[in-house]
Structure 1
Amino acid sequence: MALVLVLAPALAQAQPGFAVDLDGGDRLDVYEFGAEGEGPLFLWLVNQYGELETPNALIETLAERGATVWRTDLLDSLLLQRSSDAIRSMDGAPVAALLDAAVRSGRGPIVLVTCDRMTVPLLRGLRTWQQEAVDTTDVAGGILLFPNLYRGTPVAGEEPELLGIVAATNMPVAIFQPAMGSNRERLGQVLNTFYAAGSPAYAWMIDEVRDYYLLHSDAPENKALDTTTVGVMPEEVRQAIMDAPNQLLEAARLLAVAPRPTEVAALDERAEVPMAPAYGLVEREPRPAPEYALVDARGDHHELAESLGRVTLVNFWATWCPPCVHEIPSMNRLAAAYDEREFAIVSVNFREEPEHILEFMREVEVDFPVLMDQDGRVSGEWGVFAFPSSFILDRQGRIRYSVNTAIEWDTDAVRHVIDTLRTEPPPEPSGVRPRLAPVSANPGQL
């Protein structure tokens, strides 16, 4: 029965909507599910991709389980563009007004819920409400589903910076972190920042799934999610979705009894300014590239030492990343333009299985080795935050350029960079010469 409740569309109908008035004449349109529920009141903020089938089914399941859910779309209500910039620039007033309305309703415990970048307005709203609240126990806290709490995408290889609101949040929060998510290794930093601010923060590790697992759909609903969450639902995703209602209800109970702060944490306004994006190849101060020793999808062993003596493009990517796939043909053309003793491409796949990569390569031509970073360790050591991220190494194995997005690689500008690096001195004679073929990890096998 639970499977039907979670995955089937529209079993519980929303009650007629109501509006929450905001300063300046704006208002939030709110839809209520489970109006007679005696459980927690979830304030569900629609994510930047709009209303989607699986989140709506989760809302309906929570209502069937006795909770009340108020769903509102901040971007739609405020006539804002559905973009990362619009979300990062949003202040806390709309969410604070929603919390005020929830407190007046007399229901509770009150828990904010959202995912990805929308967790930033959630935290800002929680703090704005807290500044005027008479009794902070009126609100339990917030649930952050695979949150993106960063100022923006840094230059590839640099660590991202958390927005100031994270260090200024001391209300209770719970994070649902996919074990295979791109920010899995940064969870400790986020939790420690909450702890330092005084927040009793908690985390659920969601096994075997990636970011956006709760947005999965059998058919395309949003172009930006077409290859990440669309298609036949993997069993591990199905199970995670089935587990989500219990996890949300459990998190609500935990937040409701967590200690509350007596004062509002200080906010560093300078850290609230979004980071300006870096476009195209960025020249870097030369520094040695981190070592790696990985096996590729066909079982062959590769090390960074193979790059010494030639210019090398190291590309971090994943098949679920549309821009990553889009740039493969231009990378093939770039590789074909050079002798492999002068220039080579090495791609490092993030947390996928070799069998999946081999199947992918039967459909998409890839003319360079695909190394398997199955635990994400190498990606972390290289400071990879966004996919794709690429690094151009000189003949001495030093990082000289990086790019944190997909580009067309077979351009005159890129070739000029490569040709310039090719003319620079090679490593000292003690360096390892590049090999023309990888060393097989399975001797005697093709």
Structure 2
Amino acid sequence: MPILRNRIVSVCLLLLLATGTQADFAVDLDSGDLLEVYEFGGENDGPLFLWLVNQYGELVTPNALIETLASRGATVWRTDLLDSLLLQRSSEAIRSLDGGPVAALLDAAVDSGRGPIVLVTCDRMAVPLLRGLHEWRKQGGDAAGVAGGILFFPNLYRGTPVAGEQPELLGIVDATNMPLAILQPALGANRDRLTEVLDALHDAGSPAYGWLVDQVRDYYLLYSEEPVNRALESSAGIMPPEVRSAIADTPNQLLMATQLLARTPRPDAVLALDEAAEQPIAPAYGLIERQPRPAPDYDLVDARGTRHALDESLGRVTLVNFWATWCPPCVHEIPSMNRLAGAYDEDEFAIVSINFREEPEHILEFMREVDVDFPVLMDENGAVSRDWGVFAFPSSFLLDRDGRIRYSVNTAIEWDTDEVREVIDRLRSEDQYTRLPHLPVAQGPAATIEAR
């Protein structure tokens, strides 16, 4: 693909008006669009990173990482697919992107003579990255010309399933056999699914590697002083030491991963892509009625040191809610849950809140600021969340008096509505429960927690 290093004046003026800065060059796309590229370290002769801007747009921390890579001898081409293609910054827009733009960028990178060439991105933007690698190979790109891709906390799923159901990987995962490196936060929501993703890539022939980034959560690379939107509220403010340390080490990780990928053999075959598996699943909203099944047991200590088990809820309708303080929708629904709990006697209805991978001390501090009128159980190792099939936060389950899952919801809702109370009252009015067998218990850490 030709590289336009001198844009015509009218295009430059439009770009200056739109962004305040001028792209260094642009890549022609078959659609007639231009993929605008900003170059850093153009005078360097080190590796070439093709940096795909995430779905939230340009942020301070990723840009600082790019500058650091350039200062250490690398060249970085930064491009924003959504901005160049005038698409909405949404998950749906990202999942709809085909591999054409990234394939064209790879052609331009190979033509530049630089290398090794590595694609880099995070979260949902990993999907068009993999599609671009596949499309480039399908069009005849020589696998030896590109080292592979580096993915930070990638979201490679078809969408959010009904709460309690397992998510499905997009078809592009099974069609990817180029070398990849995945850096997954050790405290991230999909930490326990890293093995599943690597297994799928290995089955496809990809020599994929995985690393855990200690002590940080998803979106740590997107940290900023002020939240750019609601989704990144928890990644804003004074940067915690563990996040600062992880970010400081990221250039080393990128450079070392690039060396590893460049030495990794590449398969010759181009795999077929299952187009049906590339289609996103339809979102499910609100309370979804489920085929009754026994809920997995739990045996966990709450933030104040009291142990709780599922058997305590038998004989009354129970709402089991999985959440985290870093999840703004989770926090938003707490007041309506408080009101719902207050509308019933304790022997009729109960709420059990299970916190995902946070520390009791942090929860106690949170509860000093936010009223929580029900116990918060600590799933510090994520085992109970995994047993319940939790994929998105918040995820909630309504249990009948037998301890069976009857309804679930995979998003935040207003809980004290007439519609929700009607469902609860219907479950309360069912015949007296009979004790049923439960799935094996997921044992949590036993400890007595004191408020600091």
* TM-score relative to the length of structure 1: 0.93
Between the aligned partners of 1:430 and 1:73, the Cα distance in structure 2 is: 54
1:93 aligns with 2:100: yes
Q: Return the letter of the residue paired with 1:68.
A: T
| Cα pair 2:230 2:328 within 8 Å, conserved | no
From 256, 265, 271, give the equivalent of 2:262: 256
List gaps (5 residues or longer) in structure 2: 1-20, 439-445
Superimposed CA distance per residue, residues 345-397 of structure 1 (whole angstroms, 9 cap, x where no aligned partner): 00000000111100100110000000000000100000000000000000000
| Cα pair 1:15 1:33 within 8 Å, conserved | no
Q: Return the letter of the residue paired with 1:21.
A: D
The sequence identity of aligned pairs, in percent, is 75
The 1:429/1:245 distance shift into structure 2, 3 A limit, reads closer
Q: Name the stretch that deviates more: 346-355 or 217-226.
A: 217-226
Between the aligned partners of 1:350 and 1:369, the Cα distance in structure 2 is: 14
Between the aligned partners of 2:86 and 2:244, the Cα distance in structure 1 is: 33
| Cα pair 2:402 2:435 within 8 Å, conserved | no
Which runs of structure 2 are paired with 1:156-167 in the superposition (5 Å)? Answer: 156-167=163-174
State the SS of the aligned residue for 1:113: strand
The 1:442/1:169 distance shift into structure 2, 3 A limit, reads closer
Give how far 1:205 is off.
0.9
Q: Return the letter of the residue paired with 2:172.
A: I
Partner residue in 2 for 1:117 = 124
State the SS of the aligned residue for 1:30: strand
Between the aligned partners of 2:37 and 2:155, the Cα distance in structure 1 is: 24
Q: Return the letter of the residue paired with 1:115.
A: C
From 362, 366, 371, give the equivalent of 2:372: 366
Give how far 1:222 is off.
3.3
Give how far 1:144 is off.
0.6
1:175 aligns with 2:182: yes
| Cα pair 1:308 1:431 within 8 Å, conserved | no
Partner residue in 1 for 2:52 = 45
| Cα pair 2:23 2:36 within 8 Å, conserved | no
Give how far 1:25 is off.
1.2
Q: Return the letter of the residue paired with 1:389.
A: S
Between the aligned partners of 1:429 and 1:312, the Cα distance in structure 2 is: 15
Between the aligned partners of 2:138 and 2:339, the Cα distance in structure 1 is: 57
* TM-score relative to the length of structure 2: 0.91
Give how far 1:132 is off.
1.9
State the SS of the aligned residue for 1:28: strand
The 1:441/1:45 distance shift into structure 2, 3 A limit, reads closer
| Cα pair 1:395 1:425 within 8 Å, conserved | no
Partner residue in 1 for 2:281 = 275
| Cα pair 1:28 1:72 within 8 Å, conserved | yes
Partner residue in 2 for 1:68 = 75
Give how far 1:24 is off.
2.2
Superimposed CA distance per residue, residues 77-115 of structure 1 (whole angstroms, 9 cap, x where no aligned partner): 000000000001110000000000000000000000000
| Cα pair 1:388 1:406 within 8 Å, conserved | yes
Q: Return the letter of the residue paired with 1:165.
A: I
| Cα pair 2:304 2:448 within 8 Å, conserved | no
| Cα pair 1:15 1:35 within 8 Å, conserved | no
Give how far 1:17 is off.
1.2
Between the aligned partners of 1:310 and 1:16, the Cα distance in structure 2 is: 62
Which runs of structure 2 are paired with 1:21-60 in the superposition (5 Å)? Answer: 21-60=28-67
Which runs of structure 2 are paired with 1:125-136 in the superposition (5 Å)? Answer: 125-136=132-143
Between the aligned partners of 1:419 and 1:187, the Cα distance in structure 2 is: 40
Partner residue in 1 for 2:13 = none
Partner residue in 2 for 1:3 = none
From 127, 146, 151, give the equivalent of 2:153: 146
The 1:442/1:245 distance shift into structure 2, 3 A limit, reads closer
Partner residue in 2 for 1:185 = 192
From 256, 276, 301, give the equivalent of 1:295: 301
Between the aligned partners of 1:275 and 1:165, the Cα distance in structure 2 is: 15
Q: Return the letter of the residue paired with 2:25.
A: F
Between the aligned partners of 1:429 and 1:204, the Cα distance in structure 2 is: 44
| Cα pair 2:102 2:132 within 8 Å, conserved | yes
Superimposed CA distance per residue, residues 37-93 of structure 1 (whole angstroms, 9 cap, x where no aligned partner): 111100000000000000000000000000000000000000000000000111000
1:330 aligns with 2:353: no
List gaps (5 residues or longer) in structure 1: 1-13, 433-439
Between the aligned partners of 1:65 and 1:122, the Cα distance in structure 2 is: 24
Give how far 1:16 is off.
5.4
1:205 aligns with 2:218: no
State the SS of the aligned residue for 2:198: helix
Between the aligned partners of 1:16 and 1:159, the Cα distance in structure 2 is: 42
| Cα pair 1:96 1:128 within 8 Å, conserved | yes
State the SS of the aligned residue for 1:147: coil
1:419 aligns with 2:425: yes
**How big is the alpha-carbon RMSD for the aligned residues of Structure 1 and Structure 2?**
1.8
1:103 aligns with 2:106: no
Give how far 1:246 is off.
0.3
The 1:134/1:323 distance shift into structure 2, 3 A limit, reads closer
